[in-house]
């Protein structure tokens, strides 16, 4: 009798094991995400905070998506790379130029700004619009003339055509392209501006307002006509050296990948707009 119970028990175990194994063998495989892939996204640093927030949120819904790039290569490059197909999506911190219209299409993603920055140790933290214009054009050349410690002012500017410089010129120079002070130094990246201001404490420069520059302890943003260059003042419009931010995608629908279309729908939809409203 005991042997019979043992045989029955072993048989039940084998049946259960076979049943479980069969269920495992025939369980349906998860459906692959049709948006799976690697996508190149590049553009101007002024839009980078917003771009990263949006791509990270969409990536949580589609973890098989990999975003490549996501670095500051400039707004001009963002348009050109997207138009010629070397990037799947671009981002810019300015309006499209006439020559770019028809090559790419924009999707608004907020606003950025251009700040005037000095070394954190510089006692001058407030200037007027007129003083800033005169400093950058070489009419004011010594810090003592604007209430600072005596010493020659070193001017740092971004490259011609950059969104940062264009916004600066539009507001402080009434749209003129200069001329800048004879000793002006031109740089091409945010990091280069920060490094120059930190290395030469007598410097003043133009900088994109983003997470990197807001949190950089080596520099300080100058208040303009009593208005502090803060994120709140930028978002409210009180700080007026502002510029629009956009995604740009290829104007030829056949060259826009399904994942990019889905992502842009996400950006324009309630989830994406909620993210942008909270930045």
pLDDT digits (tens, 9 = 90+) for 17-64: 444 544 445 556 678 889 999 999 999 888 999 999 999 999 999 999
pLDDT for the residue 17: 44
Query: CB atoms < 10 A from the CB of 68, how many?
Result: 12
The pLDDT value given to residue 269: 97
**Residues 259 and 109: beta-carbon distance below 8 Å:** no
pLDDT at residue 25, rounded to an integer: 55
Residue 8 has pLDDT above 60, yes or no: no
Q: Hey, what are 213's tokens? A: 């520059």
Average pLDDT value for residue range 226-255: 94
Query: What digits encode the pLDDT tens for the residues 183-193?
Result: 999 999 899 99
- Please state the rounded mean pLDDT for residues 61-79: 93
Sequence ranges of the chain with CATH classification 3.40.190.10 = 37-112+243-277, 113-242
Q: What is the DSSP letter of 100?
A: G
Q: Which pLDDT score is estimated for 28?
A: 67
pLDDT at 2: 45
| CA distance linking residue 100 with residue 169, whole number of Å | 21
For the domain made up of 113-242, the CATH class stated in words is alpha beta
Look at residue 26 in the predicted model and tell me its pLDDT: 53
Cβ-based neighbours of 112, under 8 Å, separated by 6 or more: 46, 47, 93, 208, 209, 210, 234, 242, 243, 245
pLDDT of residue 159: 93
Identify the pLDDT of residue 12: 45
Using CA atoms, how far apart are residues 68 and 66, in angstroms rounded to an integer?
6
Mean predicted lDDT score pLDDT of the chain: 90
Biggest CA pair distance of the chain: 110
Looking at residues 186-213, what average pLDDT do you find? 94
pLDDT above 60 (res 149): yes
Q: Between 133 and 276, whose confidence is greater?
A: 133
pLDDT score of 6: 43
User: Phi/psi at 144 (nearest 5 deg)?
Assistant: -65, -25
CATH class of 37-112+243-277: alpha beta
Q: Enter the DSSP assignment of 255.
A: G
Q: What is the mean pLDDT of residues 198-212?
A: 94
pLDDT at 29: 66
Give residue 210's pLDDT.
Answer: 87
Query: Is residue 278 predicted with pLDDT exceeding 50?
Result: yes
Task: Measure Cα distances from 174 to 70, 126, 166, 170 in Å.
Answer: 32, 20, 11, 5
Residue (of 240, 279, 219) closest to 48 by Cα position: 279
């Amino acid at each position: 009798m005991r042997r019979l119970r043992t045989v029955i028990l072993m048989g039940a175990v084998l049946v259960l094991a076979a049943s479980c194994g069969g269920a495992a063998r025939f369980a349906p495989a998860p459906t692959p995400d049709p948006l799976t892939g690697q996508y190149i996204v590049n553009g101007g640093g002024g839009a980078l905070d917003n771009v990263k927030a949006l791509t990270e949120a969409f990536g949580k819904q589609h973890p098989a998506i990999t975003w490549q790039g996501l670095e500051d290569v400039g707004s001009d490059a963002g348009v050109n790379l997207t138009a010629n197909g070397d990037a799947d999506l671009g981002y810019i911190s300015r309006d499209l130029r006439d020559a770019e219209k028809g090559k790419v299409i924009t999707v608004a993603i907020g606003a950025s700004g251009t700040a005037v920055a000095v070394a954190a140790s510089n006692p001058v933290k407030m200037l007027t619009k007129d003083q800033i214009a005169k400093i950058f054009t070489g009419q004011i050349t010594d810090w003592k003339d604007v209430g600072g410690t005596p010493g020659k002012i070193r001017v740092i500017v971004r490259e011609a055509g950059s969104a940062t410089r264009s916004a600066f010129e539009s507001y402080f120079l009434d749209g003129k392209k200069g001329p800048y002070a004879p000793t002006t130094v031109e740089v091409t990246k945010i990091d280069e501006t920060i490094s120059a201001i930190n290395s030469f404490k007598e410097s003043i420069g133009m900088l994109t307002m983003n997470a990197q520059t807001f949190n950089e302890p080596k520099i300080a943003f100058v208040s303009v006509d009593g208005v502090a260059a803060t994120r709140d003042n930028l978002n409210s419009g009180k700080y007026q050296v502002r510029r629009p931010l956009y995604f740009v995608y290829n104007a030829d629908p056949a060259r826009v990948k399904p994942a990019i279309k889905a992502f842009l729908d996400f950006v324009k939809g309630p989830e994406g707009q909620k993210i942008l409203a909270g930045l």
